[in-house]
Amino acid sequence: MIRLATVSPCYNEEDVLRHSVEQLTALFERMIAEGLVSKDSMMVFVNDGSRDRTWEIIRELHLENKFVRGINMSRNVGHQNAIMAGMMTAREWADAVITLDADLQDDIECIPQMVRDFEAGNDIVYGVKVSRKADSFMKRMTAQGFYKFQSSMGVESVYNHADFRLMSRRALDMLSTYKEHNLYLRGLIPLIGLRHTTVDDRIGERFAGKSKYTFSKMMHLAMNGITAFSVRPLFAIYNIGMLFLIIGFLIGIYVIWSLIVGHVVQGWASLMLSVWIVGGFILISLGIVGTYIAQIYTEVKRRPLYHIQEILS
């Protein structure tokens, strides 16, 4: 039997914590009875600088429930860094670690199969979303569009996989050697290259409240996912620049033709159009280059990803 740890980042999750612990406790007890995991398995909740009673509730649950452990970050460090902190701490306690969000929208009934796949020799087991009916139409469309766009940019990732996954201690040890500050775990973990497989994940309704993962946070994560693993946007600027050079050449031919036939006034529209198009392209290009420079600026400072204030073990 393996010693299993689940790791859940929490930011203002007081409305779902007790329900999540009840669901996971029932699952743990069932897996222990089936001989899948050991009695000293655990669920680890990482408090990522919550402003509500999340940490107080984790403390109470730690005293009430033998499975519950807690990690309190010194401040809010973000979803990906909180997951990293939880995994790096839990790898000292367990043989395998499963990361999942505290709202349990991921299908926890996949966990027993993840454990079986781990025992079959897989170091990483990805939860892949096969049903997203609980997500809004806009979220489904933007998420699937992003996965496709990310693939076209050359980023290696698992399609329709978020952060619901199992990793062995060996895989976590390898992950710890990656020192990126701008973390994008969905792109980083496939680089490890160990044996892996997938399980089907069906997203369910959130028990209470609403997701704290805002649209701006998702956009920031998406930008990290592309700029941290692909330089194709920089080459795209060059290609688009060549396209505008061709367009400029054609406009030049049109201007010469207008001068010959005497339709000089009509060139005003094409002039204005070309100015706005080229100006917009220049601004977008500067934005893309600036994003890469910002990533370099952040990485070279080599600041710690996080600081842990307290651990309940």
pLDDT at 137: 60
**104, 129, 160, 162, 221 from 143: Cα distances, Å:** 19, 11, 8, 10, 12
Question: Whole-prediction pTM value?
Answer: 0.74
- Each residue of 253-311: pLDDT tens digit? 776 676 677 665 655 556 656 776 677 678 777 777 777 777 777 777 787 888 999 99
Amino acid identity for residue 198 in this structure: T
Helices 232-261 and 267-300, axial angle in degrees (round to 10): 160
Contact 126, 158 (CB under 8 A): yes
Task: Report long-range pairs for 131-138 (Cβ below 8 Å, ≥24 apart).
Answer: 131/202, 131/203, 132/203, 133/203, 134/105, 134/203, 134/204, 134/205, 134/206, 135/203
CA-to-CA distance for 116 and 226, rounded, in angstroms?
33
- Each residue of 78-125: pLDDT tens digit? 999 999 999 999 999 999 999 999 988 889 999 999 999 999 999 999
